Amino acid sequence: MNLSYKFFVAFIVATFLFSIGATYGQDRSNTYLDSVKHLVQKLSSDSERVNTLIDISKGISCDDSTKKIALAVEAKRISENINWPKGIRNSNNAIALIYVQCQKQFDRAFEYLNANVEYAKKNKDIHGEAVALEVMAKEYSELNQHQHAIDYYYMVLDIHPGTTAEAIAYGNIGNEYKAVNDYLKALNFYDSSYARVRSKKAYDINDTFELAGLNLNRGEIYLYINKTDKALAHYDSVLNSAASAIDKHFKVWALIGKGRTFRSKKEYQKAIEIYQEALSVARQVNSFEEEVNIDVELANIYVEMADLTKALAYGDSAIYLAETQHFISSLSKCYTTLGNIYLKQDKNELAISYLLKAQAMGKQTRNLVDQKDALNLLITAFRKTGQLQNAIDAKNSFDEIRDSLFNIDKLNAITRLELNKDFKLRQQIDSIRSQAIFDKKIERQKIFTYSGLVALLLVVLLSFFIYRSYVIQKKYNELLSKEKKTHLAHIEAQSNVLSEISHIQAHQIRGPVSTILGLVHIFNYEDPADPMNKQVMEWITSTTEKLDTVIKEVIQKENDLRSEHEEEAFRRQNPES
């Protein structure tokens, strides 16, 4: 079954289910679910059934979250029956998203997300574990719990999922620091992410896009901290990269960044040229939302240049496109821009109508900054039209929102302090860990050194005995040669003793020495505290004691031999005694 057919079936299923819901209402939930299962069974594979159930679940409104969850749970059941990790992971993510977005039951949501982590661990799926941890981190980020988000990104790094996943984790940590306005740390992590990607021996298309995205983020940070030259350098890097050639959206974003940078430097004509180019590219790729943003930027630049005619043209263009494309998030800025233009043209009533729309749209999108900007202009507009009470009310609302934003800034400041403490703690832990690793290496080197000395000593000792045996044997061989005829019986006895000594030295001494050398090799230098090391040392001690006994035996035999030799010499010198 091809992809288009699959989507066609999903569309038919969703349409049918919608008609069921509209006809029979909420009390027909079981019939609805049974109908879904019946229709999904017509698909050719279990994986398609899982994906279709999840797609249908996503298409249902949060007003009917019970059905959404039931369909996602059914998808999970099928995935578990066929033991399909991707299906299980996607089902758990879908269920968690419903609990977050529709029911605000965050604890339940994280139970399902954590189930993905545990499932990946159980199957030793490092990639799956990294993906699951990343999803949890992003959910915490959506809840503005940046510390938890960073903790989970560090968990990704701790399991070493590979260069690409680690680069993404570093970049996401940078995003968390950026969210609380800690721009320097954000830059540090963006740089770490960039270095990770660049360390790869070969790039693929995703790496190209990742590098371009990091340069966009770094350019934005440098613009925030007013280092415009560096900001422009990073935007130019994106424009000169393969990413802009492959996907022109990157070119649009980089041009918008350059335009904002030149606007911040009040180089308006240069900014206009850049925005015009960005507008042309955005139209080529039908990037309507970016086209709206560019129109708003151009309108505001012309307002700052006091060219209200051109400002109005771009403002009208932005509103028309935003309204026809239903870009709710952009409408507040569009209305505020147009309201500001009419206010400067002394068309106060028209300005008020647009600014009230901007305020209402800001409330709908819960964007405090948009509301504040609209209210700030409304205060002036109401005063100019003599609506003093409305101006006072707008001022009070403005102050409330300003205080809310101030409290958010204070909360971000507190969060930055907490993140800094955690960052320093992590640095200390890393330092301690590095020192421990270094100390362990030094300890291992000491053990190797001492073991080498012991082995060298044993080799010298063995060489000494072998050489001493050789000298003794040579000496007595010469003696045997000289007195062979007259003292044959005595020399033969001595030869037997010497042979015995040589045998002892060649075998009974060599054996313990070889044993000791072997025990040295099985000693666990990596972990001196290994319980086996104690047994090894006991064996070395007992073997050394045996070696000492053999050496004493050799010495005793040599003494006996020397005594016999002296007695024989004395008898030869004193034959009458």
Per-residue pLDDT tens over the stretch 321-350: 999 988 888 999 999 999 999 999 999 999
Q: If you search the block for the tokens 């080799």, which residue do you land on?
A: 459
Q: Is residue 14 part of a domain?
A: no
For 534-549, give the DSSP string: HHHHHHHHHHHHHHHH
Report the mean per-residue pLDDT for the chain: 82
For residue 276, give the amino acid letter.
Answer: Q
Could you tell me if 224 and 212 are in contact, meaning their C-beta atoms sit under 8 angstroms apart? no
Q: Inter-axis angle of helices 328-344 and 348-365, to 10 degrees?
A: 160
Please indicate whether residue 96 or residue 472 has the higher confidence score (pLDDT).
96
Residues in Cβ contact with 153 at an 8 Å cutoff, skipping those fewer than 6 apart: 133, 134, 137, 169, 170, 172, 173, 176
Q: Is residue 516 part of a domain?
A: yes
* Predicted confidence (pLDDT) per residue in 475-519, tens digit: 767 765 666 666 556 656 666 666 666 666 666 677 777 777 777
For residue 206, give the amino acid letter.
Answer: N
Q: Is residue 151 part of a domain?
A: no
Q: Is residue 189 part of a domain?
A: no
pLDDT for 2 beyond 50: no
Q: How confident is the model at residue 154 (pLDDT cuts 50, 70, 90)?
A: very high
Q: Is residue 436 part of a domain?
A: yes
Q: If you search the block for the tokens 């800690």, which residue do you land on?
A: 182
Neighbours of 475 (CB within 10 A): 11
- For residues 153 and 137, what is the distance between their CA atoms, to the nearest angstrom? 6
Number of domains in the chain: 1
pLDDT for 411 beyond 80: no
Could you tell me if 190 and 174 are in contact, meaning their C-beta atoms sit under 8 angstroms apart? yes
- For residues 171 and 185, what is the distance between their CA atoms, to the nearest angstrom? 11
Indicate the helix (H) or strand (E) that contains 27.
Answer: none
Q: Is residue 102 part of a domain?
A: no
Q: Inter-axis angle of helices 65-81 and 46-59, to 10 degrees?
A: 170
Count CA within 13 A, CB hemisphere, residue 245: 6
Mean pLDDT of the region 159-182: 92
Instruction: Tell me which residue range forms the domain holding 508.
Output: 430-573
Provide φ and ψ at 29, rounded to 5°.
-60, -45
On the 0-12 / 13-18 / 19+ scale of CB atoms within 10 A, 215 is buried
Please indicate whether residue 13 or residue 127 has the higher confidence score (pLDDT).
127
Q: Is residue 523 part of a domain?
A: yes
Q: Is residue 393 part of a domain?
A: no
pLDDT computed for residue 4 by the predictor? 47
Share of the chain above pLDDT 90, in %: 38
